[in-house]
Amino acid sequence: MNNIQLAHGSGGQAMQQLINSLFMEAFANPWLAEQEDQARLELAQLTAEGDRL
């Protein structure tokens, strides 16, 4: 991919292609490979510090 266009920001197919062709390769790791649209936190460790996050 040589350039990024406005279509890449719409969250559609163009964005998915950009992510797969550029970011997935550059930042390859097991967490990114899951392609989750969220963050997962281990709450047991956080709540051991107190009752608030």
Establish if 31 belongs to a structural domain. Answer: yes
Give CA angle at 3 (14, 24), nearest 5°. Answer: 60
pLDDT of 1 higher than 80: no
Q: Tell me how many domains the chain contains.
A: 1
- Assess if residue 34 is contained within a domain: yes
Q: Which of 8-12, 28-32, 45-49 has the lowest mean pLDDT?
A: 45-49
- pLDDT mean over 21-39: 87
State the pLDDT at residue 13: 92
Residues 22 and 43: their CA atoms lie apart, in Å, by 32
What's the rounded Cα separation, in Å, for the pair 11 and 29?
22
Contact 44, 52 (CB under 8 A): no
In a domain, 52, yes or no: no
Return the SS3 of 17. helix
Which residue segment(s) compose the domain that 16 sits in? 6-47
Domain assignment present for 53: no
Predicted TM-score (pTM) of the model is: 0.56
In a domain, 35, yes or no: yes
In a domain? residue 1: no
